Structure 1
Amino acid sequence: MFEISGLSKEFHLHHQQAARIKVLEGVNFSVLAGECVALTGESGSGKSTVIRLLYGNYLANQGAIRIGGLNVADAEPREILEMRRITLGYVSQFLRVLPRVPTLSVVAEPMMNAGAGEAESLDKARTLLTRLRIPEQLWSLSPLTFSGGEQQRVNIARGFIHDYPALLLDEPTASLDAVNRATVLDLITEAKGRGAAIIGIFHDQAARDEVCDRSIDISQFAAMA
């Protein structure tokens, strides 16, 4: 489902006389359907950069990023948006939603955007919010009024409401209590069971050991120039 080959990335520092810093070079790996792979490496090794390249937030300088038949590295913006709508889900560390939209609608939105009906999407949103222990009395409120931990769980619910064939996870268990952490690991296991290909960053080593099939040390692709 994921096939990354010859991937390189450099940043241009326009405020420093257009200096160029190459951060990744020659990234090669693949992830199969039903497999969860952890990206590892020291802080600053490029793990988050890889995630952003895969999601299309960063433009690759070289190489290919194939996700379900689409080469993200040279895709048109409309193709990337369509991929995000149907194929690739992303649980980031930060919840980015419009203000004043009720939590139930926020969670249901990705499933409806993928083509599901409103009633079905709202039902699944209720199920996920219940599993992630967001009290029902909060569902009509904007999640932007919630605590950081509650916002994180809303973000997780959004990421798992549609059965994406591929998923990116950035610290999905960070700052969660033991009960909610276990729920998130169950959601990851269930996604693997239905055939999702998953790439994640997990500083929680016990969580990584529980749900990941293997790890890739991104430090090996760090560029020194």
Structure 2
Amino acid sequence: MIQVENVAKSFTLHNQGAAVIPVMAGASLQVAAGECVALVGQSGSGKSTLMRMIYGNYLAASGRIMIGDVDVASAEPREILDLRRYTLGYVSQFLRVVPRVPTVEVVAEPLLATGTERNAAISRAKVLLDDLNIPERLWGLSPTTFSGGEQQRVNIARGFAYNYPALLLDEPTASLDGANREVVMSMIEEAKARGAAIIGIFHDEAARDRVCDREIDVTGFTPKAPA
């Protein structure tokens, strides 16, 4: 379902004489349907960079990133948008939403974007918010006013609202209490059971051990310094 082949990435520092900094080379991995793979490695080793390339936020310098039959590395913007709408979900650490949009609408939006009937989408959003212990009195408010932990749970609800065939999870259990952590663990296990291919960054070792089938150390993709 997800196949990364010989991907490289560099950044150009335009404020420092256009210096080119290589950050990744030869990145390759495969994730099958129903499998969860953890990206591991020390801070700064490229876990988030690789995740952002797979989602299309960063453009790969070379190589292929296949999500189903779409190569993210060479896809047109409209193809990336369609991929994100129907195929590839992303739960990031930070909630980015339009201010003043009610929380229940934020969570329902991925379903509405795929043509789900509005009442069904709103009902699904309410179930997820309830499961993740977001008080009903907050559902009509913008999540921009929420605490960090509440925003994280809204982000998780939004990411799991639609049954994406592939999912990217960036620290989905960070800062959660035990009850909400268990809810998220169950959501990941359910996604795997229905056949979702998942790549995640988990600093929570117990969570990683529970839901991930294997680990890939991205340190091995660090470019070698010239001799």
TM-score category (smaller protein): over 0.9
| Identity of matched residues, % | 64
1:161 & 1:177 partners in 2: Cα distance?
Answer: 21
Residue identity opposite 1:212 in structure 2: C
C-alpha distance in structure 1 between counterparts of 2:146 and 2:14, whole Å: 37
The normalised TM-score by structure 1 is 0.99
Q: What per-residue deviation string (whole Å, max 9, x for no partner) do you get for residues 126-175 of structure 1?
A: 11000000000100000001000000000000000000000000000000
One-letter identity of the residue aligned with 1:75: A
Contact 1:10–1:22 under 8 Å retained in 2: yes
What is the distance in 2 between the residues matched to 1:69 and 1:99?
A: 35
Contact 1:129 1:154 in 2 (8 A): yes
The alpha-carbon deviation at position 68 of structure 1 amounts to 1.2
1:114 is displaced (CA, Å) by 1.5
The answer to whether the 8 Å contact 1:22/1:224 transfers is no
Give, in whole Å, the separation in 2 of the partners of 1:146 and 1:14.
36
Give the match's secondary structure for 2:73.
helix
Counterpart of 1:199 in 2: which secondary structure?
strand
Partner residue, 1:184:
184
Deviation at 1:223, TM superposition (A): 1.1
Matched to 1:35, the amino acid is E
CA distance in 2, matches of 1:224, 1:44: 15
Q: Counterpart in 1 of 2:37? A: 37
Distance 1:41 1:135 in 2: 36
Matched, 1:142 2:142: yes
The runs of at least 4 aligned residues of structure 1 exceeding 2 Å deviation read none
Query: What is the deviation of 1:38?
Result: 0.2
The TM-score, its normalising length taken from structure 2, stands at: 0.98
Partner of 2:119: 119
1:176 match: secondary structure: coil
Q: CA deviation at 1:224?
A: 3.4
| Cα distance in structure 2, aligned partners of 1:46 and 1:167 | 18
Provide the residue aligned with 1:199 in structure 2: 199
Alignment of 1:27-176 (within 5 A): 27-176=27-176
Alignment deviations for residues 9-49 of structure 1 (CA, whole Å, 9 cap, x no partner): 00001111110011000011100000000000000000000
Instruction: Tell me, in whole angstroms, the C-alpha distance in 2 between the residues paired with 1:30 and 1:22.
Output: 23
State the Cα distance separating 1:116 from its structure 2 match.
0.8
Provide the aligned length of Structure 1 versus Structure 2.
225
Partner Cα separation in structure 2 for residue 95 and residue 114 of structure 1: 21
3-state SS, counterpart of residue 33 of structure 1: coil
What value does the CA root-mean-square deviation take over the aligned residues?
0.6
Following the alignment from structure 1 to structure 2, what is the Cα–Cα distance between the partners of residues 114 and 224? 43
Quote the residue 1:210 is aligned against: 210
In 1, Cα distance between equivalents of 2:41 and 2:218: 6
**Consecutive unaligned residues in structure 1, runs of 5 or more:** none
Q: Secondary structure at the match of 1:24?
A: strand
* Rounded Cα–Cα distance in structure 2 between residues aligned with 1:87 and 1:115: 14
SS in 2 for 1:74: coil
Which amino acid in 1 is paired with 2:140? S
- Cα distance in structure 2, aligned partners of 1:213 and 1:121: 31
CA–CA distance in structure 2, aligned partners of residues 191 and 115 of structure 1: 21
